[in-house]
Amino acid sequence: MPTVSSLLYYAAPLTPAGGDDDWCIDAVTRPPEVLFNFRKVGMETTIEDLREGGFRPSLDETGFEKVDVPTAVDQRALLDGDEGALDGYRRETGELLKSLTGADRVEFFDATVRRQDAAESGDPAAQSPHQRVHIDQSPKSARARAARHTGPGREFRRFQIINVWRPLLEPVRNFPLAVCDFRSLDLAADLVPTRLDFPEWLKDRENYSVRHNPGHRWYYWDSLSPAEALVFKCYDSASRGLASVSEDAAGGELSDVAGLCPHTAFFDENGPSTGHLRTSLELRALAFHE
């Protein structure tokens, strides 16, 4: 398979002897500055392009997969924040996730547009691609998120948090999304719970930072188009691997499925560096198996 080499930004303690017992990202003390009490360390990494070759990843095996599924929703309206368009896209994506996962119920809780141009876009609502290897949820924050969406006495045998990432309007020209094969992780050594001191309305209270491990296997799809979506796990309560390393893992029947997927945007030095480079929309969803 073709490959690219790029810096991926992992996490490390502030000092060589530093610990990882209270890593934090602080966005409330000195806004708009974001403070870290750990370092982001660029590591040159080989990333395989899955446009060619016979490898076909899947959600339960690797933690991610690509689906060829055009959207019928007006993409310009999505980009403009039209609520009717976003509701339609949620309904459409909910049916996709039920089909992919077998879930009985899907609820969305986050929608983020990211845009990158060679020059500043001037749109304060759009966020830049996130260049830090991370996982959107830890088991602790995943359980808290699920609790917010279930009523008293509501039971489920399994739940997942899944991110659906789609380019808008045109294919990604640079800053693509790289995803890491769950099977290449050392769960006990690589994942560091990281507290999120964010405004109360913004997302969740904890995610995972990721330490560098040369055994990680990274993949992407070159020039991902709006007719394609990259679907990856933030958490799966059925993962035996996650249950073995976290006291916050959910109970219930366990199996050897992928539990999560580290991911990050990256800059391809061999790709375009002028003009519009990427616009994408990501939805995070809870998928309940009842």
What DSSP designation does 178 have?
E
pLDDT tens column, 243-275: 988 876 656 789 999 999 999 999 999 899 888
Task: Please compute the mean of the pLDDT values over residues 17-40 and round it to a whole number.
Answer: 91
In the predicted model, is pLDDT for residue 215 greater than 50? yes
In the predicted model, is pLDDT for residue 121 greater than 80? no
Comparing C-alpha atoms, which of 48, 59, 53 is closest to residue 229? 59
Put residue 21 in one of left, alpha, beta given phi > 0 → left and psi -120 to 50 → alpha: alpha
The sheet carrying 158-167 orders its strands as 64-68, 228-236, 158-167, 276-289, 105-117
Measure the CA–CA gap between 246 and 72, rounded to whole angstroms.
40
Give the per-residue pLDDT at 75: 97
Measure the CA–CA gap between 117 and 174, rounded to whole angstroms.
9
What predicted TM-score, i.e. pTM, was given to this entire model? 0.93
Lowest mean pLDDT among 78-82, 169-173, 249-253, 273-277: 249-253
Measure the CA–CA gap between 279 and 225, rounded to whole angstroms.
10
Element (H, E) at 242: helix 240-245
Residue 199: pLDDT band (50, 70, 90) is: confident
pLDDT tens column, 54-66: 899 999 999 999 9
Tokens of 123: 């749109």
Cα-to-chain-centroid distance, residue 143: 17
Share of the chain above pLDDT 70, in %: 93
Give the per-residue pLDDT at 125: 44
In the predicted model, is pLDDT for residue 123 greater than 50? no
Give the per-residue pLDDT at 251: 60
The answer to whether the beta carbons of residues 195 and 23 sit under 8 Å apart is yes
Lowest mean pLDDT among 10-24, 111-125, 218-232, 251-265: 111-125
Give the per-residue pLDDT at 152: 63
Measure the CA–CA gap between 190 and 265, rounded to whole angstroms.
19
